[in-house]
Structure 1
Amino acid sequence: MLEIIYQDEWIVAVNKPANMLVHRSWLARHETQFVMQTLRDQIGQHVFTVHRLDRPTSGVLVFGLSSEAGRELSQLFEHHKMSKTYHAIVRGWLQGEGVVDYPLQEEHDKIADKFATSEPVSQSAITEYKTLAQVEMPYPVGRYESCRYSWVELHPKTGRKHQLRRHMSHLRHPIIGDTAHGDLKQNRGAAEHFGCQRLMLHALKLSFIHPFTQQLISLEAGVDETWREMQRQFGWTR
């Protein structure tokens, strides 16, 4: 059963669990559970995808309840009229706040794009970040006698593939649990000491002007037990 955080006659939004695919894919034929199909069965009607979250990312995921609603919502995403807020736990002490303006080369999937003939192009990518809390824990990781973490708020201003994960890696503060762009020793340490078995990236909030009512909609998704347990162990209460 998915947690529905908003529903009206045009839109439905859920709190997507980590490690659940949004829809069926031939790249993951062995999977049996998908957000789109689960939600359709749960509310008894078809839903239309308008954006995606990476499989390991949790948080706010919006669907249209008609093809028209899907088109209108997709336009909001395409024209950057959605305000997105993510939370992440990253390696090390990331200080203060700032803007990452670092172009990213288009990523090709090793399987889906293996026959692509064009060279990946560099695309503008901008992310705002702000550190919310920091901690140092007395557990050795790799060659270090302790491990440091930062709780970070992220606001992507562009929508490149794996943008937040790649930008945090560029800053040398990769997101904990990121197996593609992260620190494998830190990932193993977080799993061993704090029970972290997921990517610590959560789509916390999504705000936009409703395309049919013209009212401001602000959707927020709570974090899961893994997040709550890490925050408890780190003493992060804000």
Structure 2
Amino acid sequence: MSSESPLKIIYQDENFFAIDKPSGFFVHPPELSPYPVPKERICLWHLRKMFRKDVFPVHRLDAPTSGIVLFAMSRQDARELNFLFAERRMHKTYHAVVRGFVPASGSIDLPLEVDEGQSIVEAQTVFRSLAQVELPYAVGKKYPTSRYSLVQAHPVTGRWHQIRRHFDRIAHPLLGDIEHGDSHHNRFFRDTLNIKGLCLKATKIEMESPWNGQRVVIEAPACDKWNQIHELFSWKPPT
């Protein structure tokens, strides 16, 4: 496989593999994008070049979100993994930075729109606070300081922009979220702290293999951006 690809494969067996998707990349060509997306920004284009065959996305992450994405080696393999998602036997962990201090743990049970103007469906996100920081900056000019939480989130359901919308609905929007977030705090993170883009990463996937029954745990590797975030919060991932 080419060493020039921007995509890093972090797990692989005969049925499927996982990549660490960088922020700014689409899993597949977007259907409703108002502007053309260069093929170099599409994961499937790179992966089909690397493997010299069709591979099949099992799920997707929003373009601004980084982290683990699974791809199957065949349509049948993709169906097996999609069944685990449908049965909620695929456990996903995300890390995010949100505005304000959140409770030590909690569950956000708020229905969400399937899409603009469409029906409302149940949605649940379980979370816990990993660390908090208060900085001596009056970002929004409402308070003399600014507060942030590093959270670990588990989406029980899998709705569009679920984590982003859920935390926004409880007044703790994600940092760097230009669609659902706070523009003042986004600018502060980008320009003052030099932490750019959406602060949301898919960090772990756990499941039981549908082929051999063995437990599979896939973790995203460290990166400069999230090392910087961990340093800001004086938090170290458990070893």
- After TM superposition, the score normalised by the length of structure 2 is 0.90
8 Å CA contact retained: 2:29, 2:37: no
Q: Aligned pair count?
A: 228
Q: What root-mean-square deviation, in Å, do the aligned CA atoms of Structure 1 and Structure 2 show?
A: 1.4
8 Å CA contact retained: 1:175, 1:199: yes
Moved more, 66-75 or 30-39: 30-39
Matches of residues 87-236 of structure 1 in structure 2 within 5 Å?
A: 87-108=95-116, 119-143=117-141, 144-236=143-235
User: Which secondary structure does the structure 2 equivalent of 1:129 belong to?
Assistant: strand
Aligned with residue 93 of structure 2, among 79, 85, 88: 85
Displacement after TM superposition at 1:44 (Å) = 3.0
Calculate percent identity across the aligned residue pairs: 40
Residue 5 in structure 1 maps to residue 10 in structure 2 = yes
C-alpha separation between the residues in 2 aligned to 1:138 and 1:32?
Answer: 43
Which residue does 2:38 correspond to in 1?
31
8 Å CA contact retained: 1:195, 1:226: no
Runs in 1 of length 4+ with deviation above 3 angstroms?
none
- Which structure has the higher relative contact order (CA within 8 Å, separation 6+)? 1
8 Å CA contact retained: 1:165, 1:175: yes
Aligned CA distance change for structure 1 residues 192 and 145 (closer, same or farther; 3 Å): farther
Amino acid paired to 2:106: G
Displacement after TM superposition at 1:236 (Å) = 2.2
8 Å CA contact retained: 2:131, 2:233: no
Contiguous gaps of at least 5 residues in structure 1: 109-118
Q: What whole-Å deviation, never above 9, does each CA across 1:64-106 have from its counterpart, x for those lacking one?
A: 0011111111121122221111110111111210111111122
C-alpha separation between the residues in 2 aligned to 1:231 and 1:50?
Answer: 29
C-alpha separation between the residues in 2 aligned to 1:68 and 1:152?
Answer: 35
Q: What whole-Å deviation, never above 9, does each CA across 1:138-162 have from its counterpart, x for those lacking one?
A: 2231203322110001011101111
Which residue does 2:65 correspond to in 1?
57
8 Å CA contact retained: 2:93, 2:152: yes
Displacement after TM superposition at 1:192 (Å) = 1.3
Moved more, 154-163 or 73-82: 73-82
User: Which secondary structure does the structure 1 equivalent of 2:24 belong to?
Assistant: coil
User: Which secondary structure does the structure 1 equivalent of 2:39 belong to?
Assistant: coil
Displacement after TM superposition at 1:223 (Å) = 4.0
8 Å CA contact retained: 2:130, 2:151: yes
Displacement after TM superposition at 1:234 (Å) = 3.3
Moved more, 46-55 or 218-227: 218-227
User: Which secondary structure does the structure 2 equivalent of 1:167 belong to?
Assistant: helix
C-alpha separation between the residues in 1 aligned to 2:222 and 2:199?
Answer: 10
Displacement after TM superposition at 1:43 (Å) = 3.0
Amino acid paired to 1:85: T
